[in-house]
């Protein structure tokens, strides 16, 4: 099974991906997490990616594709995978089609999370993440705060705000999203695998409801 998560930054892609990953027992692969791992290792690749990430811009396609390609060579994806944060450009989507074809895999569903823009900015700036790289639990200071402020419920490590989640950078990332990533949904619409769905507190439809609908859809 191949599942692609699309949606604006902090739209809930990672949270929905985690539920789907547990349900279908397939790994959720976050391109942002891959970059952050290279950055924390202090590698040259990480330094290069970080130049773009700190500005809220996209990492160039060639580097991104290289890292995703090597991740998809690993053993754990043979029964399926969830991609969270890749593809983010139409070019990346085309490259992914080629990669999957070589592996005799096809995309089962592209889950496109639709969240109102004002809510997105709020979600980005209120997002906090567990600093433990084995845990990476995601919190929101308003929607679902950790029980003790600044401390992860699951593992007790400190939570932190990503630098690119601060307001000015968040605004830039949203612009990039509308310009570069929103057209990826149109690309998948043409191939008939697009499943667009609202995730918004304004209609009280959050990650659990969305994930349940996706699971029901895939089990049909």
- Could you tell which of Zn ion, ligand ADP, none binds residue 152, using a CB distance below 5 to 8 A set by kind? Zn ion
3-class DSSP assignment, residue 146: coil
115 contact partners, CB below 8 Å, separation of at least 6: 7, 8, 11, 12, 123, 198, 199, 200
Q: With respect to ligand ADP, which residue has the nearer C-beta, 51 or 186?
A: 51
User: Is 179 one of the catalytic residues?
Assistant: no
Q: Which two tokens mark 206?
A: 């959050």
Q: Is the four-CA dihedral 175, 150, 30, 16 of positive or negative sign?
A: negative
Write out the residues near ligand ADP by the rule CB under 6 A.
Answer: 9-10, 13, 30-32, 35, 52-53, 56-59, 64, 85-86, 88, 92, 164, 173
Minimum CB separation of residue 89 from ligand ADP in Å reads 7
Query: Are residues 114 and 7 in contact, defined by beta-carbon separation less than 8 angstroms?
Result: yes
Q: Which residue is nearest to ligand ADP (CB)?
A: 32
Minimum CB separation of residue 134 from Zn ion in Å reads 8
Q: Which of 88, 123, 136, 207 is catalytic?
A: 88
> Rounded to 5 degrees, what are φ and ψ at 4?
-115, 135
Residues noted as catalytic: 13, 88, 127, 162, 173
């Amino acid at each position: 099974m191949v599942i692609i998560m699309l949606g604006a930054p902090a739209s809930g892609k990672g949270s929905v991906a985690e539920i789907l990953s547990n349900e279908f027992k397939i790994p959720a692969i976050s391109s942002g997490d891959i970059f952050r791992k290279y950055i924390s290792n202090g590698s040259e690749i990480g330094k290069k990616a970080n130049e773009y990430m700190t500005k809220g811009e996209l990492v160039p396609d060639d580097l991104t594709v290289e890292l995703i390609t090597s991740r998809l060579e690993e053993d754990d994806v043979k029964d399926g995978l969830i991609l969270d944060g890749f593809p983010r450009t139409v070019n990346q989507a085309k490259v992914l089609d080629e990669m999957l074809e070589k592996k005799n895999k096809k995309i089962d569903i592209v889950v496109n999370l639709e969240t109102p823009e004002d809510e997105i900015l709020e979600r980005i700036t209120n997002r906090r993440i567990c600093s433990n790289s084995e845990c990476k639990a995601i919190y929101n200071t308003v929607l679902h705060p950790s029980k003790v402020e600044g401390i992860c419920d699951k593992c007790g490590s400190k939570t932190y705000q990503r630098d690119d989640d601060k307001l000015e950078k968040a605004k830039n990332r949203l612009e990039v999203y509308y310009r570069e990533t929103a057209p990826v949904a149109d690309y998948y619409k043409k191939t008939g695998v697009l499943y667009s769905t609202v995730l918004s507190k304004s209609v009280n439809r959050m990650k659990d409801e969305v994930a349940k609908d996706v699971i029901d859809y895939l089990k049909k």
